[in-house]
Structure 1
Amino acid sequence: MKVAGRRRASTRHATGHTAYAARFVHRTRCALVALTTFGAASLACSAQTDELTGTLRKIHDDGVVVLGVREASIPFSYFDGKGTVGYSQTIALQIVEEIKKTLGMPQLKVHEITVTSSNRTPMLLNNQIDLECGSTTHTVERENLAAFSNSFFQYAVRMIARKNAGITDFQDLAGKAVVTTAGTSDERLLRRLNTDKLLNMRITSARDHSEAFNTLKDGRAVAFVMDEPIVYGFKSTDPRPDDFVVTGTPLGYEVYACMFRKGDEPFRTLVNGVIARGQTSGEAERLYRQWFTQPIPPHGINLNFPLSEQNRALFAHPNDRALD
């Protein structure tokens, strides 16, 4: 898998000769079938291709599916030194397998592009990525720009602070420097809290989660406000995890979902089918245990984050509702 920056080199995928080759292979496959069935199958193959629309048509014609992935959203989507891994990355790859079956393209190529909280939606709208399953919150406001799958994780918004800082709840942040990640729903919640409660916090919005946590570690902020599983991930993977505490009355509860382009019902049906089958079959709970209650790569750290009753209920009743 090609990578951007140190590992993903380009956002221009499968254009020109690659797209032509994909279409040529498909036409050749149809033609070979026709030779053995006197043309009937050839007509069916052409008709099936003509019926494709939206994202599935784009993927078919380009011969590649482009995934937006995160670099440090542990344990959802992150780079482990070899490639992208994680709980939601696994779900994304399950969706890719379903796309391959639906299109009859077992050799379909997969390309990854690293996205951030700030650029993931523009990259989707500009057709630079086809699907993003990382740690993106499904909100009602975001439905104006993008479509969201069935939720695959429910969580609380809290904060991480140094244990010796004396921070236990959000009122303790009054007048202090606080960091969050730019372009997230958490940033919106934190700024609203600051205004509503007149806390006079000095809020910094970091480019990504890693930069935000480093701001806390360097002492430039007393707390990092973010999704609870994300901050648990940073705490668990830090060389000195006992120096930090995850704390605070939840600012709210939200859900993660995969994001794709609006107005694409065939693609929505495919994606939701994969997620719902995993949740009702027990596969989602097994996947949860793998990434949240067992050692994970690259250092074998265990987040020790048991399945919540909210997530158990979500798995029993798959849905694509925002919680805000």
Structure 2
Amino acid sequence: MNTRQLKFSATVMTCLAAATMSAQAQTLNKINDSNKITVSYRESSIPFSYVPAPGAKPVGFAVDMTDVIVADIKNQLRKPNLEVGLIPVTGQNRIPLLVDGTYDLECGSTTNTAARGKEVSFAISHFYAGTRLLAKKTSNIKDYADLNKKVVSSTAGSTNEKVLRQYATDKGIDVQMVYGKDYDDAFRMVESDQAVAFAMDDILLFGLMANSKNPALFEVVGTTLQQEPYGCMMRKDDPEFKKLVDGTISRLMQSGEFAKLYAKWFESPIPPKGIVLNMPMSAQLKSNMKALSDKPM
């Protein structure tokens, strides 16, 4: 490599390093300097974060929690008129867009895993889910062995995809995976018989089924493959911001407000159809309201 090429290469590396440092800037400083925080939402992650009707604002358990966190950020920065931006994310882009600084906080249905922990930080776990299957009642799918030589939908990059693939390999089950761009898309594959089942977190499957055109056509089946803790995501190596987010969540859990939010979204009628999920708080989540753990799956 000649001198000119070396200089060009050094310049490129310097620019890349500067961009990375900018994206990794301490979040509260970034928010304070720009007078804006950008938070993400999911379009169909019922009841955590979803859009109940075309053109409507996102709602959900995690959206309400995000609102409280943002209120605490406004108080700490003494910026009551702080601008709040919203950005939709998918399972594929939620981590890259957070890491590169496009948005600042994600509270939704993201599982805290050790692998993801190498790229982002997670707050105190706010839910525990398990991988199961949603299928039409007429499909005769009752457990994972029934998936042999059949097509199953999921979302690319999800922990559920990886868990099902590993389980199928271990048990000698020949499963063909297809991927939706989001939960609604993967569910429609089952509705239209492009797939016999949709592998995803049980709570999301119950939410999608409850809000479908004809819930009576479907059922959630299969044993729970594993327990997965959900946590709000933040950029890594930002202890000040993590302390604030964890502080908000722990206050909600200890004050009783978290339990009220849970009852609102999991045990009461939710938009748009007023469906009740009838999903009492799990023993594991009750335990974590005291332990306040952010341990990965």
Q: Tell me if TM exceeds 0.5.
A: yes
Whole-angstrom CA distance in 1 between matches of 2:35 and 2:272: 31
1:228 counterpart = 2:202: yes
In the alignment, what sits opposite 2:175?
A: 201
Following superposition of structure 1 onto structure 2, how do residues 1-324 of structure 1 map, counting pairs within 5 Å?
54-81=26-53, 82-323=56-297
Amino acid at match of 2:116: R
> How far did residue 310 of structure 1 move?
1.6
Whole-angstrom CA distance in 2 between matches of 1:139 and 1:300: 33
> How far did residue 80 of structure 1 move?
1.9
> How far did residue 307 of structure 1 move?
1.5
107-116 vs 195-204, which moves further: 195-204
Whole-angstrom CA distance in 2 between matches of 1:62 and 1:295: 38
Which SS does the other structure have where 1:180 is aligned? strand
For the 8 Å contact 1:187–1:205, the answer to whether it is kept is: no
- Stretches of structure 2 that go unaligned for 5 or more consecutive residues are 1-24
Whole-angstrom CA distance in 2 between matches of 1:225 and 1:91: 26
Amino acid at match of 2:189: T
Q: Deviations over 1:39-88 (max 9, x none)?
A: xxxxxxxxxxxxxx700000001110000110110100011232011001
Which SS does the other structure have where 1:295 is aligned? coil
Larger Rg: 1
Whole-angstrom CA distance in 2 between matches of 1:166 and 1:298: 30
Which SS does the other structure have where 1:85 is aligned? coil
Identity rate, percent: 40
Root-mean-square deviation over aligned CA pairs = 1.0
- Stretches of structure 1 that go unaligned for 5 or more consecutive residues are 1-52
> How far did residue 298 of structure 1 move?
1.8
Q: Deviations over 1:227-267 (max 9, x none)?
A: 01100001111121111111111111001100010000000
Structure with bigger RCO (C-alpha 8 Å, 6+ apart): 2
Whole-angstrom CA distance in 2 between matches of 1:179 and 1:310: 28
> How far did residue 299 of structure 1 move?
1.9
TM-score (norm 2): 0.89
> How far did residue 317 of structure 1 move?
2.0
Whole-angstrom CA distance in 2 between matches of 1:321 and 1:122: 22
TM-score (norm 1): 0.82
Runs of 4+ with >3 A deviation: none
- Residues paired across the two proteins, number: 271
For the 8 Å contact 1:161–1:216, the answer to whether it is kept is: yes
Whole-angstrom CA distance in 2 between matches of 1:80 and 1:185: 25
Amino acid at match of 2:168: N
Whole-angstrom CA distance in 2 between matches of 1:124 and 1:286: 29
Whole-angstrom CA distance in 2 between matches of 1:190 and 1:206: 16
Whole-angstrom CA distance in 1 between matches of 2:38 and 2:31: 8
